[in-house]
Amino acid sequence: MRVHAINLDRDTDRWERFMRLNGDVVDVVRVPAVDGQAIDRAALTEHEFIVEPCHRTPGALGCACSHFALWFRAVDSGETLTVVEDDAILAGIFGTEAERVLDGLPPGWDLVLWGWNFDGYLWAEIPEGVSVCRLTFDQEEMRKHIDVFRADNRPRTAVRLRHGFGTLAYTITPTGAAAMLEACLPMTDRLVTFRGVAVEDFLYPNLTNDVDMNRAYPDVRAYACMPPLALSENWRETSHTRMRDDL
């Protein structure tokens, strides 16, 4: 399977680690990331990619624009793309198993998350169309067992995704990309409604692009791979979208 891996030109160490871990698992195409330090915010505002107020860090803007560029490519070319971020750790069977999972999806699917952030919830329909399940994960425990994950060759399945966080690894169709662009643009401060996940809907601030994607998930044919085929250790200290303004 070919994956498009987003990586900043200045992050050579991250790229070397990504290739060391994943280079023999999939066919990797490196995609230069949009550098948040070099973004022309005024130009984004002029072209209505940003509508103020928008309190995103430069890193969050760069990350979002990197994904947008690939989504626009999918829409324009008609390609279905598999996208990963450079902190993704792929299971050893990612290539073959992801293809098998995709082949088993019903016609008209839009997006599959191969992994997600373990420091937040994920909501899925289990059984599909019957009930929404809220899943929690132990990020600290996950970080201790990366080798176990990479060696795990058990079959995966896809469950219908209702809500979740993270863009570390996914496959998206042209129709899915169009839906995500509509949900995420323009970038502006908003509270995103997470629908049907509790007794009452709740609102979440959209400081990163993956939050805005939740505006679309309930209305498209989105899935999550179970167990995941991709993990991220998700260190906040090196995150390019959270906590720091200098990235």
Domain boundaries, the chain: 2-238
pLDDT value at residue 203 = 86
Kindly indicate the confidence band of residue 244, based on its pLDDT and cuts at 50, 70 and 90.
Answer: very low
Kindly indicate the confidence band of residue 200, based on its pLDDT and cuts at 50, 70 and 90.
Answer: low
Residue 98 backbone phi and psi in degrees, to 5 = -60, -40
| Residue 62 per-residue DSSP state | H
Tens of pLDDT, residues 134-187: 999 999 999 999 999 999 999 999 999 999 999 999 999 999 999 999 999 999
**Alpha carbons 168 and 162: distance in angstroms, whole number:** 17
Q: Which residues contact 154 (CB under 8 A, 6 or more apart)?
A: 227
HSE, CB side, 13 Å, CA atoms: give it for residue 129.
1
Burial class (CB in 10 A: 0-12, 13-18, 19+), 144: exposed
Q: Which of 132, 125, 136 is nearest to 158 (CA)?
A: 125
**Alpha carbons 217 and 111: distance in angstroms, whole number:** 9
| Residue 215 per-residue DSSP state | G
Give the mean pLDDT of 176-199.
91
Give the mean pLDDT of 224-244.
76
HSE, CB side, 13 Å, CA atoms: give it for residue 141.
3
Kindly indicate the confidence band of residue 243, based on its pLDDT and cuts at 50, 70 and 90.
Answer: very low
Least confident of 93-97, 105-109, 204-208: 204-208
The DSSP result for 95-159, as a single string, is HHHHHHHHHTSPTT--EEES---TTS-EEEESSTTT-EEEE---HHHHHTTHHHHHH-----EEE
The crossing angle, in degrees rounded to 10, of helices 58-77 and 174-184 is: 140
Output 49 or 195, whichever has higher pLDDT: 49
Residue 40 backbone phi and psi in degrees, to 5 = -90, 90
Tokens of 22: 């994943």
Average pLDDT of the chain to the nearest whole number = 94
Whole-number Cα distances in Å, 126 to 117, 213, 222: 20, 21, 14
The torsion defined by the Cα of 156, 144, 222 and 48, in degrees rounded to 10, comes to: -150
Hey, which CATH number is domain 2-238, 3.90.350, 1.10.10, 3.90.550, 1.20.1440?
3.90.550
Least confident of 15-24, 63-72, 125-134: 125-134
Q: Alpha-carbon torsion 83, 143, 151, 118, what sign?
A: negative
Q: Alpha-carbon torsion 10, 235, 177, 110, what sign?
A: positive
pLDDT value at residue 245 = 42
State the CB neighbour count (10 A cutoff) for residue 131.
9
Kindly indicate the confidence band of residue 132, based on its pLDDT and cuts at 50, 70 and 90.
Answer: very high
